[in-house]
Every structure is written in C-alpha cells, then in structure tokens.
Amino acid sequence: MLKAYKTEINPINKQKIIIHKTIGVCRYVYNFYLAHNKEIYEKEKKFVSGMDFSKWLNNEFIPRNQEYSWIKEVSSKSVKQSIMNADRAFKRFFKHESEFPRFKKKNKSDVKMYFVKTDAKVIIPCERHRIKIPTLGWVRLKEKGYIPTNKIIKSGMVSYKAGRYYVSVLIEENDINQTTLDKEGIGIDLGLKDFAICSNGLIKKNINKTQQLIKLEKQLKREQRKLSRKYESLKQRNKKLKGEAARQNIFKQKLKVQKLHQRIENIRTDYINKIVNEIVKIKPSYITIEDLNIKGMMKNRHLSKAVASQKFYEFRTKLEVKCKELGIELRIVDRWYSSSKICHQCGSIKKDLKLSDRVYICDKCGYTRDRDYNASLNLRDAKTYKIA
C-alpha cells in the first residue's frame, strides 16, 4: 500500500530558483500541449496522446526551434509528468467525466515539480532533518522525523503555495513486515579476523581465509607471474622472432588470469549477498554497524589488500538497500565510538586494548568476553548513531 506524506521544506535560494524555474516550464508545457490538442480537437475531434506529444516536443519541436531549448534546462521527468497529467485530463474529458481541460494560470494553478525513483537500485535518501531531491540535492525539512527514514520513497513532488514550499512523497507501507520484525536489534562488528560477529551469536568467517580462496589466490599469483615472464621474454627476443604465435600465447595467458580473477570476485560477492540475506532474515527491529573508515584502512599498505578482499563497502551498500526494503532501521555508529574498548558489563573503557588482545578482560569488573563479541554488544546498545 502506498502512503503519502506532505511536509514543509526549507530550500535555500539556489534551490528556490530551480523549483520556480521547473514549475514555470511545467506550466508552460502543460498549456502548450493543451493548446496543441485544442486545435486538433476543434478540427478533427481527436487528441494527441501525452506520450506522442512528449516525443514530438523533444525530437522535433525543440531541435527545430532552438529558442525553446530552455524547456530542456529543467528536470525532464517533471516536464514529462506535467504532460501526462494533461493527458489524463483529456482522457477524462473524452469519457465525459469532466470539462475540457483548462489552461493553468500563473500563481493560481497547482503546478508541481515531480521527481521519481527511476531505477530499482537508486534510493531517494531521506534523513530526519533533510531529503535528497533529484536536481535539487539535500533540502532541509521543517518538521524533523515526519517522513519515515527507514522506508523506500517511490516518488514525490515539490510544490509552492503562498510563499511556502512543500514536499510530498509516496512511500510503500509494508505492514506485514513491520509487525513481524523482532523486537531485538542486532549489533554487527565487522573485521578482518572474522567478517562479522553479531550480537545474537551469529559469526560469519572471513571467506578469504578458507582453503578454497587461499588456493585460488595462489593459483592467480602463479598465472600472473607466468604472464609477466611471457611479456619479458617477448621484449628480449629479436624483432624477427616476435611472431604471431608469441602474441597469441600472451593473449591466452591474459585471459586465464582474467577468468581466475573473476572467479575469485564472484565467490566474494556471493558470500556478501548470502550474509546480507541471512542477517535481514532474522528480522531485527534495527541493525547497528560501525562507520568503517575504509579509505583510511586502504591507505595502510599492510591492510589494504585484506580490506579490499572483504568488500565491506559492497556489504554496507547491499545491507542498506535490503534494510530499506524490509523497514529495518540501519544505524551507523561513528567510527570514533570505541566499541571494542568499552566493557559491556560496567561501561568502563580499556584504553590500552591492543589489536592482538583477542579476549576482552575488564580491569574494573573482571568481565571476560571475546573481543569482537563484546564490540557487537556495544554496537547493539549504542545510543548515538546516524540512520542510513
């Protein structure tokens, strides 16, 4: 079921200009289409569909009349939507459900700026205090938290009335998922030793440490060495000996390396997908993860390969999409929050915790737990976080 939410926004001047320009162009095109159809209707009692008009406008009219190219300066989705609104008005008229559509007058009519989710993978991001609208960017919301931040926005529009600006969005409400979500949230500690340690006890190992991947990586290195040797020998040979055969040989070897590389990548991606599905299947009411400093970690020569091979970024992106779909709140904790250093029992902080300390032992209360499991519990119970 789709539910609509309308609330006031607080755009900056630059955004106001874009909104007014878009609304102005939409009104112009709406009226243009009406006038065009009126003429045809009076002559032949027919009408041109919105689809055909839109095609004609973009492919014939504007290219031939460059003085109208300003129509293309605003969101084409908005323009298309205003044409389709007029199209519906015509259809109602032809079914005798309404009068002949009227022209929209400046300042009086309800012309809006539409935006839609164009792609299943694209998300219209919305946070408690702001929403990211295509062509406008982040726009501040006056009433914080009114639009749900853990659901997918299907489409929306921006409107203007009496000096105020509004956004209304359509959101897929999934009541079934909402009610069946487990009350308990989950904290996930991501790492290099294991991929993920969850506060509910679930442990996902680092796939790069499995026999299968270690073997494949070795094989890849071997084939890469072979390839570079082949390049070297090609360089050293006399010109007359550089034959087609040698080139073919290199090409084959290159293909072998690429295939092996792809196979390894596929195994890693499948693993990420599996973990994401397994975690959201638990249907926790929220999931908390750390905002990993992936860029910083990649700068560390010793860690960068291990970090890249774990695909943390891909994991985070996929988890975010799934959480939005299912209405699970994804909480992101600041990377300065020392989830590993806090004692989950008494809250004291162990400043001298080393990376090599695999077991957390609290100096104050004696609490003893696996280091990463302790971190996952702290993440689950974190009070300060950002919602993805």
Which residues contact Zn ion by CB under 5 A?
A: 343, 345-346, 362, 364-365, 367
Least Å distance, CB 377 to Zn ion, is 12
Instruction: Report the residue number, 31 or 374, with the smaller CB distance to Zn ion.
Output: 374
Report d(CA 255, CA 246) in Å as an integer. Answer: 14
Strands 164-172 and 130-133: unpaired
Q: Could you tell me if 307 and 298 are in contact, meaning their C-beta atoms sit under 8 angstroms apart?
A: yes
Smallest CA-to-CA distance from 343 within 331, 359, 322, 323 is with 359
Instruction: Report the residue number, 110 or 363, with the smaller CB distance to Zn ion.
Output: 363
Instruction: Report the residue number, 49 or 345, with the smaller CB distance to Zn ion.
Output: 345
Question: In Å, how far are 88, 120, 151, 331 from 175, measured between CA atoms?
Answer: 31, 21, 11, 21
Least Å distance, CB 341 to Zn ion, is 11
Report d(CA 221, CA 170) in Å as an integer. Answer: 51
Instruction: Report the residue number, 277 or 368, with the smaller CB distance to Zn ion.
Output: 368
Report d(CA 34, CA 50) in Å as an integer. Answer: 10
Least Å distance, CB 337 to Zn ion, is 17
Instruction: Report the residue number, 143 or 357, with the smaller CB distance to Zn ion.
Output: 357
- If one counts every other C-beta atom within 10 angstroms of the C-beta of residue 123, the result is 17
Instruction: Report the residue number, 65 or 368, with the smaller CB distance to Zn ion.
Output: 368
Least Å distance, CB 298 to Zn ion, is 34
Least Å distance, CB 347 to Zn ion, is 7
Instruction: Report the residue number, 255 or 365, with the smaller CB distance to Zn ion.
Output: 365
All residues at 6 or more sequence positions from 232 whose CB lies less than 8 Å from its CB, including other chains:
none
Least Å distance, CB 383 to Zn ion, is 18
Task: Compute the C-alpha angle 238/241/245, nearest 5°.
Answer: 140
Least Å distance, CB 373 to Zn ion, is 14
CA dihedral 325, 326, 329, 334 (to 10 degrees): -50
